[in-house]
Amino acid sequence: MTPMNWTCEQIEARLSDCLDGQLSAEERAAFEAHVRVCAQCAPLFAQVSQLVGELHAMPQAEEAPRLVYAILDKTLGPRETLSGWRALAGWLRNLKPQPVVYGIASVAATFLVIASAFGFSLRKPKLADLSPVSIYRNADRQAHYAYARGVKFVSDLRVVNEVQAQIRDNKAAPGESQDVLPASAPKKEPGSTDGTKPGTRQQNRANGVYHNFEMLAEELPGFVAPFRGRNIR
Amino acid sequence: MEQDAQLVQQCLQGDGSAWEELVRRHTRRIFNICYRFTGNRTEAEDLSQEVFLRVYRTLGSYRSAHGGFATWMTSVTRNLLIDHYRRTKRDRATDSLDDAMPVVENKESSARRPDEQALLGELSQQVQAALTKLSPELREAVILRDLQQLEYIEIQRVLAVPEGTVKSRINRGRIELARVLQQMGVRPS
């Protein structure tokens, strides 16, 4: 049996049959024998063969997500749209199966806390704020600021305590206060110094100032030293 | 395939969720056929909507004994694409001079949305551009066979032509596409 001799026209006509595996063994042998030696058919076969492989491997294009809804609107009619809290709840439900969203949110929150602790302004970010010296200075300033606010808070608490204690003392001895400020006494402006004995209210203020001075002396002895010995009461 | 037939039956009984399921199952496939045929994303989306509208209106005429629902739907899509091609033929004739010698650079500079460029790889874009240069008969044959990977018998049903014609169109389509890519400089001469 003599092998088939195919022409270039035959090769071109049966090219896809060869690629799709639709040639008999004898036809395939004839096809390959021709392609091996033909300068025209060899590159054509190679190109089409490569193209078919690429076409088969080509991924599907993704449609816009709105397309499904547009089709449903066109066929079933417009759907009920959610608004307000229901829309927000729906949006949150969509987030639920995505743990990565929680991860991103917690990383962002941590970053914000650390950045604000180091004095980095997110409203007006500057590259200079990221240098180690700036970070150290900002952190140092923030620490001192926090400490100062803490000291002030404790000091305020102590003043309030002193005032309350003084009020309790005054209530415990009502007779004395009657003597100090009789009902018929002329009305005095707060803080007036007309040479008369100061009233209970003025005395309380003076006591409060004295206590504050004492506490300041404990906190900052160097600052208060020059005032020691003066009569502030 | 049986699930499709079941969903169709539920649709015909007025079950909206069954129709929604059918839409979700077939949207991407139909969109891809339209997109590969037209080469235009917006046009493909509009055509996909038209396909589903037509399917929805003629769902009662579908008979599962005559083939799968997907094949029936593909044939509705194909008919609509050919109608669309004929309708817009005059518009295309006016700018056919621009398309006479397609080159990759021209295609790259054409008005294509950025998300479209991201969507397709370079090769995919080149093949897409080359596909639109084929005649509609060859183009649809290549799309159905090589991009949708339908069997010959399914293509025969969709195109309603004999098997020999299907094979011939696929073969000519592939060879023509390879030549267009070569002319575009994508393949070595």
pLDDT digits (tens, 9 = 90+) for B25-36: 999 999 999 999
Collapse the DSSP code of A59 into the 3-class scheme (helix H, G, I; strand E, B; otherwise coil) and give the result. coil
Task: Measure in Å the smallest separation between the Cα of B30 and chain A Cα atoms.
Answer: 10
Is B32 in CB contact (< 8 Å) with chain A?
yes
Mean pLDDT, chain A, rounded, equals 77
Select the residue of B23, B168, B171 nearest A68 (Cβ to Cβ): B23
Cβ(B39)–Cβ(B129) below 8 Å: yes
Q: Which residue has the tokens 């005059």?
A: B90
A198 vs A106, residue with greater confidence: A106
B85, B117: one domain: no
Residue A19's closest chain B neighbor by CA? B171
Collapse the DSSP code of A173 into the 3-class scheme (helix H, G, I; strand E, B; otherwise coil) and give the result. coil
- pLDDT band of residue B106 (cuts 50, 70, 90) is very low
B46, B33: one domain: yes
> Hey, what amino acid is at A33?
A
B101 vs B25, residue with greater confidence: B25
Considering B48, B74, B94, which residue would you say is the last residue of a domain?
B94
Task: Measure in Å the smallest separation between the Cα of A62 and chain B Cα atoms.
Answer: 7
B97 vs B40, residue with greater confidence: B40
Select the residue of B16, B45, B127 nearest A63 (Cβ to Cβ): B45
B89, B172: one domain: no
Select the residue of B45, B167, B177 nearest A64 (Cβ to Cβ): B45
Q: Which residue has the tokens 């008005």?
A: B111
Residues in chain B with CB shorter than 8 Å from the CB of A55 are 127, 142, 146-147
B49, B108: one domain: no
Inter-chain residue contact A74 with B49, CB threshold 8 Å: yes
Inter-chain residue contact A16 with B171, CB threshold 8 Å: yes
Cβ(A119)–Cβ(A142) below 8 Å: yes
B78, B35: one domain: yes
The count of structural domains within chain B is: 2
Q: What is the CATH number of the domain that holds B19?
A: 1.10.1740.10
Residue A75's closest chain B neighbor by CA? B53
B86, B156: one domain: no
| Residue among A75, A76, A79, A80 with most chain B CBs within 10 A, to mutate | A75
Task: Measure in Å the smallest separation between the Cα of B187 and chain A Cα atoms.
Answer: 8
B12, B81: one domain: yes
B113, B151: one domain: yes
B125, B160: one domain: yes
Indicate if the pLDDT at residue A230 is higher than 80.
Answer: no
pLDDT at residue B103 in the model? 35
Q: What is the CATH number of the domain that holds B164?
A: 1.10.10.10
Considering B40, B71, B94, which residue would you say is the last residue of a domain?
B94
pLDDT at residue B108 in the model? 40
User: What is the C-alpha end-to-end distance of chain B, expressed in Å?
Assistant: 44
On whether the pTM is more than 0.80, the answer is no
The per-residue pLDDT for range A19-51, each reduced to its tens digit, is: 999 999 999 999 999 999 999 999 999 999 999
> Is the ipTM value over 0.95, yes or no?
no
Inter-chain residue contact B48 with A60, CB threshold 8 Å: no
The proportion of chain A whose per-residue pLDDT surpasses 70, expressed as a percent, equals 64
Considering B94, B121, B150, which residue would you say is the last residue of a domain?
B94
B90, B139: one domain: no
A97 vs B167, residue with greater confidence: B167
Q: How far apart are CA A159 and CA A173, in angstroms?
A: 22
pLDDT at residue A104 in the model? 83
- Distance set, CA B178 to CA A47, B32, B171 (Å): 6, 21, 11
Q: Which domain holds residue B70?
A: 1-94
